[in-house]
Amino acid sequence: MHFIAILGLVISIGSCAALDQSPSGKSSWTGKLLVVPMDGSHWTGVKAVAEEMGRRGHTVIVVIPEFSIRMGPGKHYITKTFPVSYGQDLFNQIMVDHVRELTAPGQSLLKSVTSKVDFFKKIFNLMASTTESLFKNQELIEFLREQNFDAVLTDPALPMGPILALNLSVPAVYMLRGLPCDAAATARPDPPSYIPRFFTQNSDRMSFGQRVMNVLVSMLEPLECTVVYWFFEEVASNFLQRDVSLDEILSTGAVWLMRYDFTLEFPKPLMPNMHLIGGINCEIKNPLTKGDNQAHRGSRCQENNFLSRNMRLTVILCLVISIVSCAALEQSLSGKSSWTGKLLVVPMDGSHWTGVKAVAEEMGRRGHTVIVVIPEISMRLGPGKHYITKIFTVPYELELINEILTEHVHELTTSGKSLLESVTSIVGNMLKMFNLMASSSESLFKSQELIEFLREQNFDAVLTDPALPMGPILAFNLSVPAVYMLRGLPCGLDVVATACPEPLSYIPRFKTQTACLLVSA
């Protein structure tokens, strides 16, 4: 449970999701987070998370070498330094050589490649030396082992953190933009005919020649990773006292916080334990406090806006994420938390109910109070073993639902209709469905007794499918943060609400049956 809470906080801080928050931002429960950062620009985001976690009352210990480019002490975390076999002069020399390489004009291809290889060799030798120095520091390693950390936050571009997390048997949270050979560790699909390879400067819209080159580069990546990381595997094997590969080490990561934005870069398949936190992060325009009835006017996006969160909501959100994505989270055998919260579920009927019901059941099974609000007449909605059902009356009968479904099936299975007949039939059936949804929403909002009951519950979050706006409207009225579970909205409301970039030249439109691969260059 401690790891779940730590993970929820890290995700909420890293992604800056627009969630309800307490004025102090501190939780009644405090955990322990070990941070093993990478130097340079990689340190910026990790430091912000470490500072914010410490500010919220958690014990945060950051392990850094005595010499670095940017890393150092902070106001809200504890720093543990360890000696290394190099001095500041080596850093300065590497950076001078790098700047000279970037600014030198008119270099031949051979000279340019040689310079870059030499620079990266120096960098990785430095990283390997740092890793070896830490693992040989028995006093510091023993101190870290005694802390019983709940999670390790690290950047796997420097494998020192993942190796240490594996040795300490502590779940690792990775914060990175990407690795040239991370696909094997995450087990995500990575077809070279579609996914651009590292350093090729290709996009997902490649010509035939680019695809051929992309495939060739992908064949060299295993060799590249072996050459770059072989020393880390040797150090890790000595430290862990068994043979171990980099893939095995990285695959133990519980969650990958990816610092890139899916809509601004080329598409990459995501696995259940991968979360996008970079590029587009959200800022609350009008933050709500508990019981505040002012209108929440939505959110717009801004990077590195680290806001305080209500701890109860954080745990609720993290549990929802973990259940939906089946992320590898540490939990007790019973799966129940020592703390229990309140979740309101406002589902949509039909196939949309399947996933939401599974979350409602699991949240209830874990000891949380889950109340599901449903109409008295529906296709699939109904009671469950682990949640409470609250029913409201509606002005229609089951026959109307059956009629709409029958017409829908008839439309799907009937051939030979003219275009006008087909469009008229589809539009007519959709109007009936949306009228039914509107009628259901109106009936709920007119049920003053039920609305007052829900208001008195002081829910920590609302789980809903925004395809039926009844849930978002109710969450808005109750001043409770909403967690949306959806595939998408046909009229682009989800894009507008999230301020997500959606260039028409690249993003296929709903119902057009086009895909990224079919868009001409």
Give the model's pLDDT for residue 34: 95
Q: Which range has the worst mean pLDDT, 91-95, 146-150, 517-521?
A: 517-521
Give yes or no for residue 174 having a pLDDT over 80.
yes
**Residue range 361-377: mean pLDDT, rounded:** 91
Helix (H, G, I), strand (E, B) or coil at 251: coil
pLDDT value for 23: 38
In this prediction the pTM is 0.53
pLDDT for the residue numbered 74: 93
According to the model, what pLDDT value does residue 306 have?
A: 28
Comparing 167 with 108, the larger pLDDT belongs to 167
Question: How many of the other CB atoms lie within 10 Å of CB of 271?
Answer: 13
| pLDDT tens per residue, range 54-98 | 998 899 999 999 988 889 999 999 999 999 988 888 877 777 777
pLDDT recorded at residue 383: 92
Contacts of 40 (CB under 8 A, 6+ apart): 69, 70
Mean pLDDT of the chain: 76
The answer to whether 4 touches 327, Cβ cutoff 8 Å, is: no
Residue type, 484: Y
Give the SS3 label for residue 333. coil
Q: Distance between CA atoms of 426 and 473, rounded to whole angstroms?
A: 27
> Which residue in 436, 440, 439, 444 sits closest to 474, CA to CA?
444
User: What pLDDT does residue 304 have?
Assistant: 29
Mean pLDDT of 287-304: 34
Least reliable range by pLDDT among 12-16, 28-32, 35-39, 196-200? 12-16
Q: Looking at per-residue confidence, does 286 or 390 come out higher?
A: 390
Query: Does residue 493 surpass a pLDDT of 80?
Result: no
pLDDT the model gives residue 326: 41
pLDDT tens profile 225-275: 777 777 788 888 888 888 888 888 888 888 888 887 665 566 677 787 888
Three-class SS string for 385-441? CCCEEEEECCCCCHHHHHHHHHHHHHHHHCCCCCHHHHHHHHHHHHHHHHHHHHHHH
Helix (H, G, I), strand (E, B) or coil at 187: coil
Residue 483 carries which DSSP code? E
Whether the Cβ atoms of residue 217 and residue 181 lie closer than 8 Å to each other: no
Q: How confident is the model at residue 188 (pLDDT cuts 50, 70, 90)?
A: confident
- pLDDT, position 37: 94
Q: Which of 224-233, 318-327, 474-483 has the lowest mean pLDDT?
A: 318-327
pLDDT given for residue 298 in this prediction: 34
pLDDT at 88: 81
Does 290 score more than 60 pLDDT? no
Q: What is the pLDDT of residue 58?
A: 92
Amino acid 512: pLDDT: 62
Max intra-chain CA distance, the chain: 81
pLDDT of residue 91: 77
Q: Are 452 and 439 in contact (CB under 8 A)?
A: no
Confidence (pLDDT) at 182: 67
In whole angstroms, give the CA distance from residue 135 to residue 184: 26
Question: What is the share, in percent, of the chain residues with pLDDT greater than 90?
Answer: 23
Query: Is 49 strand, coil or helix?
Result: helix
- What does the pLDDT read at residue 274? 83
Q: How high is the pLDDT of residue 218?
A: 81
R_g over Cα of the chain: 26
Predicted local distance difference test score (pLDDT) of residue 348: 87
Lowest mean pLDDT among 212-226, 325-339, 460-474: 325-339
pLDDT of 145 reads 94
Please tell me the least confidently modeled range out of 108-117, 268-277, 278-287: 278-287
Q: What is the pLDDT of residues 5-24, one digit of tens each?
A: 555 555 555 544 333 333 34
